[in-house]
Amino acid sequence: MNFSIIPLYNGKKTKIYTIQFSDKELSEYEQFVYENMTIVPDAVRTLRTQLKKMSYQRGLADNFFKRESPEHYRVFRIEETKEDLRLYCIKFSGVAIVLGGGGIKIPGKVKLIENPHLNVICELLIKIEDLINERILTKEIIITNDDLKGNLNFEI
Q: What is the mean pLDDT of each run of 10 residues along the chain (156 residues)?
A: 94 93 97 94 93 92 87 88 85 85 83 85 94 96 87 92
Q: What pLDDT is recorded for position 112? A: 76
Contact criterion met (CB below 8 Å) for 39 and 55: no
Q: What pLDDT is recorded for position 81? A: 64
Q: What pLDDT is recorded for position 80? A: 67
Q: What pLDDT is recorded for position 20? A: 97
Provide the angle, in degrees to the nearest 10, between the axes of the packed helices 28-36 and 41-53: 150
Provide the residue type at 93 as one letter: S
From start to end of 12-129, where are the E strands? 15-21, 65-67, 75-78, 85-92, 96-104
Contact criterion met (CB below 8 Å) for 48 and 33: yes
What's the CA gap between 102 and 40, in Å, rounded?
A: 13
SS3 9: strand
What's the CA gap between 63 and 95, in Å, rounded?
A: 15
CATH topology of domain 3-151: YaeB-like fold (3.30.2310)
Q: What pLDDT is recorded for position 150? A: 95
The ranges assigned to domains in the chain are 3-151
